[in-house]
Amino acid sequence: MARTEESQRREADRKEGWNARRWYEGIMAKQKTHMGGAVTETELLIANIDRSVTQEVRSVLDQATVDLYAETEDEWSATAPVDVWWDGAKACYASDGGHRIAAKEKNGRKKILCRVHRCDDAESALTLARLHAFGPANHAHGRARTPEDKRKTVRSCIALPEYAGESDRRIAEICKVGKWLVGQVRAEIAGAPKPAPRTVKADSPPKPAPTPASGRATTAEERVIESLTKPGVVEKLVERLESEDIVESPEVVARPPAKEHKALTDARGRVVPEPMVSLFRLGRAFAADLRGVLHEAADGVKSAAEESWGIGLAQMVPTLEADLKKVAQDAAASLPWCCCPHVDQATGEHLVEGKCRVCINNRGWLTRHNWHQLGDPIKQLIDEHAEPDAEREDA
C-alpha cells in the first residue's frame, strides 16, 4: 500500500510540473503574439525609462560589470537594445539592461537604443515587463544572476497579488529557478525553517526530461494577455503608431539619422572596407560578450563559494579564472583581426585569382593566429595599408 501511495504522489508531482511548464509556455506564446507587429527599435531618453522593474530582480548593481560595459560601449551599443514596455503614453518600463543603462550614464550619454514593446495600457506594460524580467531577460544572457539575485526575483514575484497563490513549481517556471529555492524563500518569509534542497546520489542516472502534457490554468496575467490579443487591438496599435501624435510624442524620441562615425580600422591600422565592417563589428561584439559572460561565470562561482554548501569551490577559483581568461583570449584570436592586403578598399572584393597566400580560403581577413604564421615581408605589406596616425594592436 505504501508503495502505491508513493507512486501516486510522484505521478501527481510530475503532472504538476508538466502543467506549470505548459502554463508558462502558454503565457510566453501569447506574449509573443501580442508583440508581433507592435515592436520597434528606437533611441529613448534614459531619463524617460522607468528602471523599477530591473531593480526587483537584482540585489545590487555590479560596478565591475558597469565599468566593463562602459569600456566596450562601441562594441554593443548598436547591437544590444534594451527591452522596454511602453503603454502608448508616459509609462515606459525597462525589463532588462540595468547595467547597460548605467554604463551609458557613466559615459555621459543621454539616450540608449531600445526595443520598444507597445502595450494597451500602463498595467499591461508593467505586467509584461515583470514577466520578462523575472525569467527570460537575465536567464540566458546578460550578467549571470547571483544566488541573491535569484532569491530577490522569487521574493518580488510572490509578493505580487496575482502570483502569491501560485504553486512553487509555477513560480519556479516564471523565475527560471529550482522549485526547492521557491520553497526556501517562502519559508524565510513565513519565518519557518528552510526546506533542505533535494540531493541526488553521485551514482544515480539522470532522469529524462518530462514531456509537457496537456493542461491549462487561468490566471490574472493570462487574462490580461488575452485581453491584449482581442480582435482589433493590433490594428489599433498600428494606427496609433502611424499617427502624428505618437511620432511627435516627447516621451519617445525617434531614432535620429545615422551620424558620421569615425571609420573603423583593423588591428594594424587599416580602414576596414565598408562591405567588411559588419564582420569586424560582430566579431568584436562577440568577443566583448564572451568576456562579460566568462567574467560573470567566475563571479557566480565566487558567490557560490561564499555559501555554506559551496565552501569547497573556493580552492578552484584561481584556476578557473586563469582558464576562463585563456578561453577569452583564444576566442578573440580566432575572430577577424586585420584585412588581407589583397582586398580592394572600395569594394571589399578579394583581388587575387586562385589561392591567396595570406588569408585562408580567400575570405579577405586574418585572425591573430594567422598573423603569427606570416613572414616579415607579408606583415610589412599589410602595415603599408595602415592610416598614418592609426594605432596598431600588438599581436
Q: What is the mean pLDDT of the chain?
A: 77
pTM over 0.85: no
The grid coordinates listed for 294 are 566568462
pLDDT band for position 5 (50/70/90)? low
Q: How far apart are CA 240 and CA 271, in angstroms?
A: 43
Q: How far apart are CA 169 and CA 13, in angstroms?
A: 9
User: In this structure, are residues 133 and 89 in contact, taking their beta carbons and an 8 Å threshold?
Assistant: no
pLDDT band for position 213 (50/70/90)? very low
The grid coordinates listed for 310 are 559551496
pLDDT higher than 90, residue 108: yes
User: Exposure string (b/e) for 98-120, b if CB count within 10 Å is 16 or more?
Assistant: bbbbbbbeeeeeebbbbbbbbbb
pLDDT band for position 209 (50/70/90)? very low
Task: List the beta bridge partners of residue 338.
Answer: 366
pLDDT higher than 80, residue 237: no
Instruction: Taking residues 217-239, report their average pLDDT.
Output: 58
User: What pLDDT is attached to residue 249?
Assistant: 44
pLDDT band for position 104 (50/70/90)? very high
pLDDT band for position 246 (50/70/90)? very low
pLDDT higher than 60, residue 31: no
User: In this structure, are residues 92 and 82 in contact, taking their beta carbons and an 8 Å threshold?
Assistant: no
**Packed helices 168-175 and 122-134: angle between N→C axes, nearest 10 degrees:** 90
pLDDT higher than 80, residue 316: yes
User: What pLDDT is attached to residue 106?
Assistant: 92
The CATH architecture assigned to 2-198+216-247 reads Alpha-Beta Complex (3.90)
Instruction: Quote the percentage of the chain above a pLDDT of 90.
Output: 8
Tracing cell 596598431 back to the chain, one arrives at 392
**Residues across the chain:** 395
Hey, where are the domains in the chain?
A: 2-198+216-247, 274-383
Q: How far apart are CA 85 and CA 94, in angstroms?
A: 6
Q: How far apart are CA 149 and CA 272, in angstroms?
A: 41
